[in-house]
Amino acid sequence: MKVSVKVQPKASKNDVIDNKDGSFKVYLKSAPIDGKANKELIALLADYFKVKKQRINIITGKTSRKKIIEVTGG
């Protein structure tokens, strides 16, 4: 499954918001430095979808706030 994600780094808490249009807004505590925010995003989405971190892949937007994420398996 592929999902559209908008990331808000340096937030006060980690949170995943499921929008009505099927996209997600994800708040991350980490700053987007040295890939820390992407690692935290993968861990948070793996927990949200109840899959292993290896099953979450950033397809597009590795350096952008808007990303396309692929979730495989279950």
Residue range 20-54, pLDDT digits in tens: 999 999 999 999 999 999 999 999 999 999 999 99
Residues with Cβ < 8 Å from 40, sequence gap 6 or more?
14, 28, 29, 30
pLDDT at 64 over 80: yes
| pLDDT value of position 73 | 78
Beta carbons of 57 and 72 less than 8 angstroms apart: yes
pLDDT at 74 over 70: no
Residues with Cβ < 8 Å from 34, sequence gap 6 or more?
none
**Percent of all residues in the chain with a pLDDT value above 70, rounded to a whole number:** 99
Average pLDDT, the chain: 95
Q: What is the CATH number of the domain that holds 41?
A: 3.30.1200.10
The domain total for the chain is 1
Expressed as residue numbers, the domain containing 8 is 2-71
